[in-house]
Structure 1
Amino acid sequence: MVVDAPERVGSAPTGPKFGLVDWVRWIWRQLTAMRTALALLFLGALAAIPGSFVPQRSIRPFEVDQFIADNPQLGAFYDAIGMFSVYTSPWFSAIYLLLLISLVGCIVPRIGTYARALRAEPPRAPRNLNRLPGHLAGTVTDAPQALERAEAYLRKKRFRVLRRGDELSAERGYLREAGNLVFHVALVLILVTVAISVLWGFRGTSATLIGRGFSNNLSFYDDVSAGALFRTDQLPPFTVRVDGFDVRYGLDPATAGRPLSFRADTTVIEGPGEPPRQASIEVNKPLSIDGIDVHLLGYGYAPIVTVTDARGNVGYSGPVIFLPQDGNFTSAGVIKVPDARPQRLAFQGFFLPTATVDEAGPRSVFPDAYSPELFLNAWSGPPVVETGIPENVYQLNPTGLEQFRSADGEPLRLRLKPGEFYDLPNGAGRISFDGWTRWVRLQYSRTPAAVGMLGAIGLAVTGLCVSLFVRPRRIWVRARAGGDGPAEVEVAGLDRVGGRADIDDELAAVRAALQDEGGKEER
């Protein structure tokens, strides 16, 4: 009797529901997969590239402002997506944090697996040893003693050996995985120490004239880059006065114009009531003051000028920092005299330490000051109300200014040597070139986790070397007695990194340790 199956009513049967917990587990498995960590590492390297091509506000704020002024739409877009502060942008921080979580999620389970592997016994010999990449066969007269000799030899070669009846299982190379884990742990430490340095670190630069001083507060810095968790009250109180600067250039054809050495001599007062001490700063020889490293980044020239306005009053007198433009220290700069009356004055041009004028125009032919000259253009304009808004002291905004012109209608060009002066047209004032001095650019920085970062890098290199040079290997020896006759012996091995390398030589050495004088070898 055949009974018809009842009709199914409703929808087709479904599998178990994929709930929120399942989704979280699936996302966690994907995030902690090694392929995800590698992808995030590559993505982080890719995301860091714009920081090398786009000026960063923490390092070159004036260039950022100039970029935005020259490219208003593109600059506004870059600013909106954090392209001017790549390494502190939300998207770069997200990649960094995900990479850190992914690495930790990869490493922790592997540490547990490795710990269990250390406690585990060497695996039993496969049934068919002749199928392994390395295999040798022979005979011995006494199987138990042969196995004892082989065991002694393998232990001497730092194998972990376990004897099971008529066979030996030996394994070595556990340090390879340990080196791999050490490398990945060190990578996590590098990420953590870099994060600590970024969040609590500080770096600022200041151009200081020779004979002038620097006090460690924000008003003395030209630009500052500080971590999000850095506080200004963490700046230690100290002063640095630059007493002198010595630079020597090569004069022979092979080193002509090349700086052979330069050194800044300073006087340091590390805090209120502390006695002053003398210290020198050279390239790769920074000065350390209460946890702050002071590096000598660069140097340049500062022409000393005196500007007198139309009323005979001195509107400005002193050195003005000019920025070097090439290896011969052709230096560009701006002299602003906002207090001149009845018209404010401004000058823009070049200081040439060893000046010459040819078809290419004025230029310097040597970095040392053998024949210094000052080449300037001049502007004047009505006084303006000071707004308190800071402006770039190295750039001239010509808005509201009119350039002085010569009798032929061309822009007025001044050429002055030390000790010379020039009277501006229509009695507008006078500028004199009184001499020159030097300035040095010093960087003051604190990297809280620098020592830890260096140790983590050393640990990573050590772990990488161990993982590359240690070869995990397994060897099995089987000796089966055949009655009163010789015992058949098999020696087989497996190189666990995928290559034979010297496995055959090692197996031959194990087989030789098995043999006695009466043994007969055969392949």
Structure 2
Amino acid sequence: MTDTITQPRLGLLGWLRWMWRQLTSMRTALFLLLLLAVGAVPGSIWPQRSIDAARTATYIADHPTTGPWLDRLGFFEVYASPWFAAIYLLLFISLVGCVLPRSKVHWNAMRSSPPRAPAKPARLAANATVELTAPPAEVVDAAREALHGRRFRTVSHDKTSVSAEKGYLKETGNLVFHLSLIFVIVGVAIGHLFGWKGDVIIPVGQTFANTLARYDTFSPGPWVDPNSLSPFQLTVDKLDATFEETVTGRGQFGQPRDFTAHVTTKATPTAPAVKSTIKVNHPLEMDGAGVFLLGNGYAPVITVRDAAGTKVYSGATPFLAQDNNYKSVGVVKVTGAQPKQLGFSGLFLPTATVDKDLGPISLFPDAKKPALALTVYEGELFPGGRPQSVYLLDTVKMTQLRNAKGEPLRIWLEPGQTYQLPGGRGSISFDGVQRFAGLSIRHDPGKFVTLGAALLALAGLIASLVIRRRRVFVRVSPGTGPGRTVVAVGGLAKGDDDGLQEVVDRLVAALEARFPTGPGTDPALEPELDSRLDARG
């Protein structure tokens, strides 16, 4: 009859303890770190609502089957989705639960003495044995002094041995690296919760006030009040753009050499004006925000009049560059046009020409011979009231105007020219060209925490890779004659250490330099020396 084996039951507390140990293992932390990186991939594939709501709405409308499902799964707001936050928090808990107990163990190990020397150090992986002409006590003192001079912690558990250890900073660096990862997560969390960023295009001569309504795109953190932004003002006085004109080498002509925005700032509307400059990689620090120059381009000054000559649209209209020669696309939306709203879509060409194969192109990025190439639509500019980009024209409920031949109407304008629209719809004028500065304004209160933690992580990683954890043991015993002492030295390393034998040999060389070795140690005597060590062990 076979006895029934009764398996132990964990119970609720046991299962909770098992799950905690699984969560706080380094294997789980690495898996969660990988999962966090994979979870961030959808944020770079699909448009994000917090960055471009119009593009997100357009994507969902263009993909009626997959779009709503992706929206339900949070793929259009990845970094604010519950599943991404769950990975983030689990990684934080896993790292804390993994690192803190290891830190306590390491602290206790650093305060403890090196272990007792083994009875036969010569049997360790790195070893050496020598017979010296000196009393055992002097040899022990000399070995301790030599090891201490090499920054080993030394201790003698008895009168015939020395135990030495070094390399605790290796594990310290490892723990600093993992603790720094925790603070990186904390810094990123602070920046996400309390930080914000916004992008805005400002034509030369115009003033930007740091209010929510003035941003083209604005992404606040969950705990940010958009109505409490710092009340600074910024006016773009001039934008210098320098392009290569003298070099004719392939790939060099027309390349940008420098972009500088000359601005006037005020900390508050009543504060004195301050002249400043913003360059690429040289941001301007304002109260509670950094202003970065991320882009630049052209804003042709366009005026649209109705049939009676009344202005229904006028201003510098930014066009976005599409290539290195600043061939730019843009739209003009005239909501006040009658009887139907008008939309102009087309190109701005800084140095314009018409290629027989490529059509309208720009030969150089600077405004040497500017021109506008436009086409016209009429109808409803904002069908269904859906949000849309100011740089795109939704033509779903619009009709393209045609000329007398029934072809799509094409308009070519150079500065100072006016074109009369057909059917008494008014006119459009190209009054001039201004530049614009594309600015990104950001507030990240956690950036210094993140930067400091990243530097500490790098230092900890270097320390954990460079420093070696080593133990050296010395044991002495009476030699083969009067006044002779047998010295057995052994080394032990944590992990592979090709330099450990060299450390042992240097210690033996230091002892030999201090004490005469006499006739030396015959390898044939090592069994006898081992037996002596056995007798003393």
Classify the TM-score, shorter chain.
over 0.9
Structure 2 Cα separation of the partners of residues 344 and 232 of structure 1: 33
1:90 matched to 2:88: no
Deviations 1:98-140 (A, max 9, x none): 1111111111111111111112221122233333111111212
Structure 1 Cα separation of the partners of residues 28 and 451 of structure 2: 26
Structure 2 Cα separation of the partners of residues 233 and 414 of structure 1: 43
Structure 2 Cα separation of the partners of residues 46 and 332 of structure 1: 34
Structure 2 Cα separation of the partners of residues 50 and 423 of structure 1: 48
Match of 2:155 in 1: 162
1:513 matched to 2:505: no
* Partner amino acid, structure 2, of 1:146: V
Q: From 469, 472, 489, give the equivalent of 1:472.
A: 469
Deviations 1:377-424 (A, max 9, x none): 11234x789987654322222244322212221111111111112222
Match of 1:373 in 2: 371
Structure 1 Cα separation of the partners of residues 383 and 375 of structure 2: 24
What is the 5 A alignment of 1:9-20?
Answer: 14-20=6-12
1:190 matched to 2:189: no
Alignment root-mean-square deviation, CA = 2.1
Q: From 442, 447, 454, give the equivalent of 2:444.
A: 447
Alignment partner of 1:329: what SS?
A: coil
Report if the CA contact (8 A) 1:337-1:345 is conserved.
Answer: yes
Report if the CA contact (8 A) 2:54-2:387 is conserved.
Answer: no
1:101 matched to 2:100: no
Cα distance change, pair 369–519 in 1 and its aligned pair in 2 (3 A): same
Match of 1:70 in 2: 62
Q: From 208, 228, 232, give the equivalent of 2:202.
A: 208
Structure 1 Cα separation of the partners of residues 315 and 288 of structure 2: 34
Deviations 1:212-264 (A, max 9, x none): 11111110011111111111243111111111111110112243111111111
Alignment partner of 1:489: what SS?
A: strand
Alignment partner of 2:403: what SS?
A: coil
Structure 2 Cα separation of the partners of residues 478 and 384 of structure 1: 91
What is the Cα deviation at residue 272 of structure 1? 3.9
Alignment partner of 1:84: what SS?
A: coil
Q: From 490, 493, 509, give the equivalent of 1:492.
A: 490
Match of 2:217 in 1: 223
Cα distance change, pair 231–480 in 1 and its aligned pair in 2 (3 A): same
What is the 5 A alignment of 1:66-465?
Answer: 66-141=58-133, 142-163=135-156, 164-251=158-245, 252-254=247-249, 255-358=252-355, 359-381=357-379, 390-465=387-462
Structure 1 Cα separation of the partners of residues 182 and 57 of structure 2: 36
Structure 1 Cα separation of the partners of residues 159 and 517 of structure 2: 23
* Partner amino acid, structure 2, of 1:441: G
Report if the CA contact (8 A) 2:342-2:381 is conserved.
Answer: no
Structure 2 Cα separation of the partners of residues 201 and 260 of structure 1: 33
Deviations 1:74-109 (A, max 9, x none): 222221111122222111111111111111111111
Structure 1 Cα separation of the partners of residues 433 and 169 of structure 2: 64
Larger displacement relative to structure 2 (32-41 or 305-314): 305-314
Match of 1:4 in 2: none
Structure 1 Cα separation of the partners of residues 322 and 503 of structure 2: 65
1:59 matched to 2:58: no
TM-score (norm 1): 0.93
Structure 2 Cα separation of the partners of residues 144 and 463 of structure 1: 40
* Partner amino acid, structure 1, of 2:190: I
* Partner amino acid, structure 2, of 1:294: V
Larger displacement relative to structure 2 (104-113 or 82-91): 82-91
Structure 2 Cα separation of the partners of residues 518 and 334 of structure 1: 93
Alignment partner of 1:511: what SS?
A: helix
Unaligned runs of 5+ in 1: 1-6
Determine what percentage of the aligned residue pairs are the same residue: 44
Larger displacement relative to structure 2 (88-97 or 308-317): 308-317
Report if the CA contact (8 A) 2:233-2:269 is conserved.
Answer: no
* Partner amino acid, structure 1, of 2:210: N
Alignment partner of 2:65: what SS?
A: helix
Larger displacement relative to structure 2 (118-127 or 219-228): 118-127
Deviations 1:15-40 (A, max 9, x none): 44321111110000101111111111
Larger displacement relative to structure 2 (440-449 or 162-171): 162-171
What is the Cα deviation at residue 450 of structure 1? 1.1
Structure 1 Cα separation of the partners of residues 339 and 178 of structure 2: 70
Larger displacement relative to structure 2 (245-254 or 48-57): 48-57
Deviations 1:258-302 (A, max 9, x none): 111111111111114311111111111111111210111111111
Report if the CA contact (8 A) 1:57-1:64 is conserved.
Answer: yes
Unaligned runs of 5+ in 2: 524-537
* Partner amino acid, structure 2, of 1:366: F
Alignment partner of 1:374: what SS?
A: strand
Deviations 1:338-396 (A, max 9, x none): 21223332211111111111111111111111111111111234x78998765432222
1:47 matched to 2:47: no
TM-score (norm 2): 0.91
Report if the CA contact (8 A) 1:311-1:341 is conserved.
Answer: no
Structure 1 Cα separation of the partners of residues 503 and 342 of structure 2: 87
Cα distance change, pair 311–85 in 1 and its aligned pair in 2 (3 A): same
Cα distance change, pair 341–482 in 1 and its aligned pair in 2 (3 A): closer
* Partner amino acid, structure 2, of 1:257: G
* Partner amino acid, structure 1, of 2:496: G
Aligned residues: 513
